[in-house]
Amino acid sequence: MAIIINKLKEIEYIHTYHFLFNKYRRSRVGYIWVSDTGLSYTFSKTMKNALPAYSFNDYPVLKCIREYVESMTKHKFNSVLVNKYEDGDISLNYHDDNDPWLGKKFIVVSLSFGEKRRFLVKQKSEYAKGKPIIKEYILENGSLVYMGESVQKYWLHSIPVQKRSLDDKKRKTGLRFNLTFRNVYPELFHKMPKPKEKNS
């Protein structure tokens, strides 16, 4: 795992800018979008610029990890979004990955490297009988989470703020990488949000 983490550290990540509260704000999360499609990626309508698409051939470590994920899940993936979280102050709000450019039936596979983080899964209110169910899991170094169509339809997931390490409360939460593999359809990319400005 240490070799993989070191290789992921060598990647040059992009920090996106989002239009929030009447100004552009720099995201603390570092991103890189790698896709066989060659198409840029916009995951939020607040984004100033789309993420450019890089080739798997330029990142042997990501190509190797993709082969592993495909062998484990028996599914093919043409794209991966890599998120770099520097510390536990960086969180991810409840959301689903039910994006129309993934087609009608799809899976997203999430792979974690680095610091342990809490992973919350919350039942969508429209499917809950009473108070929505919330489940908590721990994402270990190397954890693989398989999220199919039903997960995106009925559940939301998040990574909450975690100031201190789960292994040592005296230590601040450290670096974590999250890789989400998916198979996207170029013919459906027109359904993606449009960035506020084009990449230069």
What would the pLDDT profile of 145-177 be if each residue is shown by its tens digit?
999 888 989 999 999 999 999 999 999 999 999
Residue 194 to residues 40, 67, 76, 83, Cα–Cα distance (Å): 11, 31, 27, 21
What's the mean pLDDT in 13-31? 94
Domain spans of the chain, in order of start: 2-116+140-152+173-191
What would the pLDDT profile of 96-150 be if each residue is shown by its tens digit?
987 888 887 788 999 999 999 999 999 999 999 999 999 999 999 999 999 988 8
What would the pLDDT profile of 61-78 be if each residue is shown by its tens digit?
999 999 999 999 999 999
pTM: 0.92
Q: Which long-range contacts (CB under 8 A, 24 or more apart) does 74-78 make?
A: 75/107, 75/109, 75/183, 76/183, 77/109, 77/181, 77/182, 77/183, 78/35, 78/36, 78/37, 78/183, 78/184
Q: Is the pLDDT of residue 200 over 80?
A: no
pLDDT of residue 198: 55
pLDDT of residue 45: 87
CATH class of this structure's domain 2-116+140-152+173-191: mainly beta
Q: Is the pLDDT of residue 199 over 70?
A: no
